[in-house]
Structure 1
Amino acid sequence: MKKGKVWLVGAGPGDIGLFTLKGMEVLQQAEVVVYDSLVGQGVLAKVPTTARLIDVGKRADKHTMPQEQINQVLLEEAQKGQRVVRLKGGDPFLFGRGGEELELLTVNGIPYEIVPGVTSSIAVPAYNGIPVTHRDFCSSVHIITGHRRAGKEYDIDFKALVNTKGTLVFLMGIAALSDICFGLLEAGMDPAMPAAVLQKGTTADQKRVVATVATLKEEVDRQGIETPAIIVVGKVCRLADEFGWYEKLPLAGWKVLVTRPKGRSSRTAEELRRRGAEVLELPSIRTVPLEDQSTLVHAFEEISSYQWIVFTSPTGVEIFFDELKKAHKDIRSLAGAQIAAIGQGTAKVLEDRGILVDLIPEVYDGESLGEALAVKLHGGEKILLPRARKGNQKLVKILKEQGGQVSDIPTYDTVYEKSSLIHIDREIESDSIDCVVFTSASTVKGFVESTGLLDYSKVTAACIGKQTKAAADDYGMQTYMSEKATIDSLVELVVKIKNR
């Protein structure tokens, strides 16, 4: 019987860019994922669809599952021979009760590993321009749990904390903010000592309230704050306005949903994050190669008779070359044909295969591809078109009208996807998503299928081309179209939408 193992993985403070490389590697191999409420949505979106999910809640006093039961779940799943990832917000060993979870595993001889995470106590102040140490202000930092068990007094030596003259970071202490400030003042802290409450740091909902220990509670009540949030006390808090950098990024404070085919990396998401957006990458469609590729294989037998081979997606390219290899052929068999691609993304995948593209339309859609290729035809040319089963029929019509003999061969199906961890419909209805980015009409349809909303008028849609925009228009979305059908133009469109 396969022996199970447990990984305690720190998911960091929220921004997926702060999730560690090792954490991502371990997560991708998980068979069971036990996760809590403080894990960022960007990280949750990376949980493999093959993994079994166990939600244990854990936020402040609202626990879906008691800690003792969580410990038991980890043990039982590992005893079944599973690769178990315990995914925890922040770091597993910093008030994450990771040590408690290891005790039962150790007693029962279950192997485990610890993958540290970036802690909010350091990262959240950093995203707010607050260095927790600075030689001009302090030489130490102290991290304290602000959580107090129901009906019990604080077991905190406030006098000792004040005497350190260091930066104090309280985690899980918002409910007791008044008591914490009172305790520090009673212990002799200067009422004018700078202090801050930092809300949902490293995410689009990041917010800070800076005041003094004497006025912080009053200021938080006036400005409002949401949890999770941390409390920082110390002279370094006065640097926040001077060193604040996150809010200066062009997309700071915006949460953007990027729809894409499953398994395809997104440069769009990378560029949006670089500009400060919190990006949710959720596949709205999945491509499934057809089991029967006999029609394509037959075309390979007469591949030298084709004058053009036309690719309309990266997926189409990959399946084509996978089947070509199975047929014991390589790129030399394509020597007599010219190659057309619908856009730069498809062309890039072809270039990676050693093929330089002969034709790309100025506008990256099927109709424009057909029109651009029709100009090159004299009549009678054989054209091979390996693509999705439900492809754009205007492309074929245009080529046939110009006399092209088109072999329109389906090689894959497009299937709509839905996340079991993130409820996008709720995010849209609560106005949590500022913009949705669509790179094809099929991703629009996949998004609609997966959300099932009655009203899409709340959705602000950034679309890469006219066909994509038309699909979004059909559902009543607030649509915008990039000037060019490129990733850079699409990202700039999102910036323009934010600043409109």
Structure 2
Amino acid sequence: MEVGTVYLVGAGPGDPGLITWKGLEVLRTADVVVYDRLVSPALLALARPDAEQINVGKTPRGRGARQEEINALLVEKARAGLAVCRLKGGDPFVFGRGGEEALYLAEAGVPFVVVPGVTSAVAVPAYAGIPVTHRGMVRSFAVATGHRCGAEGGPDEGPCPDDVPRADVLVYLMGVENLPRIVAQLRRSGWEARTPAAVIQQGTTPAQRTVVGTLADIAERAAGLEPPAVLVVGATVALRDALNWFERLPLFGKRVLVTRAREQAGKLAVDLAARGAEPVVLPTIAVRPLDSPEALDAALRHLGEFHWVLFTSANAVRAVWERVRALGLDARAFAGVRVGAIGTATAASLLEVGLQADFVPQRHTSAAILEEIGEVRGMRILLPRSDIAPPDLAEGLRARGAQVEAVVAYRTVPAGPPRELVERVLEEGVDIATFTSSSTVANLAALVAPRSLEEVLQGAVVACIGPVTAQAARERGLHVDVVAPVHTEEGLVEALVAYFRQEIG
């Protein structure tokens, strides 16, 4: 058996959008994902649905997997012929023990690739509005570990003697629990008590919290902060007041429930995080292929007999395209057939498979299709759809004289996330609940039963992708605060931004 490759991938410091393009490609294609405690769940949602995911994260005070166990696991999975994504916070070679893992793999004869990541030493201060260099102010910076000197879990009381780096700005990683000793050592080394300092907890995430002071008082001011946290010492800390951009984002700190299918939740989560929100991914639906695609295949073999093919979701595009390829066909099968998409997201999915939508209604609803498609009397229309899609569009087209073949292209089923995940979400609560289809509403209601949605989401802002979904939410007793004017993921996020800006204003 050919030995698989281990990819040592830097996931970045917390914001899932900071993973590199190459790192994301490895994550999406790996057979196994071995990840650390601080890796964002939004990134894990982008892994292959069938990929094995193994948490080997260490906690500051508790015991996770030992490094020797992690090394052995990587070798074991690679020797099984699997592609392994070793997903590490920050950069694997910046206090990430990536060098140790690479050496072990080399000694074991296992091929490996290093995919550098955005290090928290630079990104976390940047998200707090603190540059680590600034022309005319500082010319150098250094990065050090804040862990105690010695072996992992060793008994030493402070950093190693004389290990204070010589630089204008110092960045200490993993040092919040050792903060008083670090400060004392800096003072002994000649750093003035008035030197600006900042501690940033959970940097680059919506839970980020920044405490600013000086070496005289930063240990006291930051006493309530817990790992993960970064200490920055130097003159550029004073720039934070002017450069604090992240904590001023419109959705900063908001916990947002994402209920859509696991395969699609990642993008929405990333878009929300880009506005400062904390996505809470709880898939309530799953998209599955048909057990018996004969009816769909029969329609696709005779595509040339249709005047129109209307797609009402990106899921329908993907499901149809899988069967098109399975039948040995390609985009040429659609020659002479007009193609319609319910919205821009569906049109974008068509472009991904080489098809240009001939028609996209201004409003992304079935009603808008009926209003804007034009004359359809006597035309044959293929309508690939979900097994639970409402009949409104097909019936409306038939009422206008069209011959409609509504064929099921995929199944929408309850996702059934782990009960402990559901309980954790209910216990921690959310500030915003998003719904992208009527089925996400119904399935969330089933997941939280016997409690009602109204009870579970009390006090939360309820945001729906469109009027049909909003009506389903109202029927479950929810007060709908936001309905996206543009019925796409992007439109939903922008509608939330507008809502909170209005609330603040």
After TM superposition, the score normalised by the length of structure 1 is 0.85
The answer to whether the 8 A contact 2:45-2:262 is kept is: no
Give, in angstroms, the shift of residue 197 of structure 1.
Answer: 0.6
1:157 aligns with 2:155: no
1:220 aligns with 2:218: no
- Equivalent pairs counted in the alignment come to 491
Q: Where does residue 433 of structure 2 map in the other structure?
A: 436
SS at match of 1:151: coil
The answer to whether the 8 A contact 1:370-1:396 is kept is: no
Give, in angstroms, the shift of residue 231 of structure 1.
Answer: 1.0
Change beyond 3 A, Cα 1:355–1:239: closer
Q: Where does residue 130 of structure 1 map in the other structure?
A: 130
Identity over aligned pairs, percent: 38
Q: Where does residue 388 of structure 1 map in the other structure?
A: 386
Q: Where does residue 295 of structure 1 map in the other structure?
A: 295
Change beyond 3 A, Cα 1:418–1:196: farther
Give, in angstroms, the shift of residue 342 of structure 1.
Answer: 3.1
Instruction: Report the Cα distance in structure 2 between the residues aligned to 1:421 and 1:68, rounded to whole angstroms.
Output: 32
* 5+ residue gaps, structure 1: none
Change beyond 3 A, Cα 1:70–1:123: same
Q: Where does residue 491 of structure 1 map in the other structure?
A: 493
Q: Where does residue 188 of structure 1 map in the other structure?
A: 190
> Which segment drifts farther, 187-196 or 403-412?
403-412
Deviations 1:246-286 (A, max 9, x none): 12332333344444445459875565455444556675433
SS at match of 1:161: coil
Change beyond 3 A, Cα 1:28–1:303: closer
2:438 aligned partner, one-letter code: A
Change beyond 3 A, Cα 1:341–1:266: farther
The answer to whether the 8 A contact 2:303-2:333 is kept is: no
Q: Where does residue 85 of structure 2 map in the other structure?
A: 85
Deviations 1:454-499 (A, max 9, x none): 3432453311212111223344445221234355542332113334
Give, in angstroms, the shift of residue 94 of structure 1.
Answer: 2.0
* 5+ residue gaps, structure 2: none
The answer to whether the 8 A contact 2:385-2:410 is kept is: yes
Change beyond 3 A, Cα 1:225–1:471: farther
1:472 aligns with 2:469: no
Instruction: Report the Cα distance in structure 2 between the residues aligned to 1:428 and 1:381, rounded to whole angstroms.
Output: 50
Instruction: Report the Cα distance in structure 2 between the residues aligned to 1:57 and 1:305, rounded to whole angstroms.
Output: 56
Picking from 174, 179, 186, the partner of 1:172 is 174
Give, in angstroms, the shift of residue 426 of structure 1.
Answer: 1.9
SS at match of 2:492: helix
Q: Where does residue 4 of structure 1 map in the other structure?
A: 4
Change beyond 3 A, Cα 1:453–1:5: farther
> Which segment drifts farther, 301-310 or 139-148?
301-310
Change beyond 3 A, Cα 1:451–1:184: farther
2:431 aligned partner, one-letter code: D
2:212 aligned partner, one-letter code: V
Deviations 1:35-66 (A, max 9, x none): 12121222222222222222122122322222
Q: Where does residue 108 of structure 1 map in the other structure?
A: 108
Instruction: Report the Cα distance in structure 2 between the residues aligned to 1:312 and 1:477, rounded to whole angstroms.
Output: 26
Instruction: Report the Cα distance in structure 2 between the residues aligned to 1:28 and 1:359, rounded to whole angstroms.
Output: 30
SS at match of 1:76: helix
The answer to whether the 8 A contact 1:347-1:357 is kept is: no
Instruction: Report the Cα distance in structure 2 between the residues aligned to 1:21 and 1:477, rounded to whole angstroms.
Output: 39
Q: Where does residue 460 of structure 1 map in the other structure?
A: 461
1:344 aligns with 2:341: no
Instruction: Report the Cα distance in structure 2 between the residues aligned to 1:5 and 1:30, rounded to whole angstroms.
Output: 10
Q: Where does residue 245 of structure 1 map in the other structure?
A: 245
The answer to whether the 8 A contact 1:350-1:357 is kept is: no
The answer to whether the 8 A contact 2:300-2:324 is kept is: yes
Instruction: Report the Cα distance in structure 1 between the residues aligned to 2:387 and 2:119, rounded to whole angstroms.
Output: 47
1:473 aligned partner, one-letter code: R
Instruction: Report the Cα distance in structure 1 between the residues aligned to 2:266 and 2:36, rounded to whole angstroms.
Output: 26
- The 5-angstrom pairing of residues 90-101 of structure 1 reads 90-101=90-101
Give, in angstroms, the shift of residue 186 of structure 1.
Answer: 3.2
SS at match of 1:391: coil
Deviations 1:321-379 (A, max 9, x none): 555673869667774x765543333344456654543573x543345545666x8566x
Instruction: Report the Cα distance in structure 2 between the residues aligned to 1:408 and 1:30, rounded to whole angstroms.
Output: 37
- The 5-angstrom pairing of residues 48-59 of structure 1 reads 48-59=48-59
Deviations 1:394-453 (A, max 9, x none): 33444455555543322221133366799365245313x432333322333455566778
Instruction: Report the Cα distance in structure 2 between the residues aligned to 1:354 and 1:5, rounded to whole angstroms.
Output: 36
1:393 aligned partner, one-letter code: P
Change beyond 3 A, Cα 1:282–1:26: farther
SS at match of 1:415: strand
SS at match of 2:122: helix
> Which segment drifts farther, 238-247 or 258-267?
258-267
Instruction: Report the Cα distance in structure 2 between the residues aligned to 1:291 and 1:82, rounded to whole angstroms.
Output: 28
> Which segment drifts farther, 1-10 or 209-218?
1-10
Q: Where does residue 229 of structure 2 map in the other structure?
A: 229
SS at match of 2:221: helix
RMSD (CA atoms): 3.4
SS at match of 1:423: helix
Change beyond 3 A, Cα 1:85–1:272: closer
Change beyond 3 A, Cα 1:50–1:453: farther
Give, in angstroms, the shift of residue 229 of structure 1.
Answer: 0.8
SS at match of 1:8: strand
1:17 aligns with 2:17: yes
Deviations 1:162-204 (A, max 9, x none): 7x25212111111121222222223332111111111111111
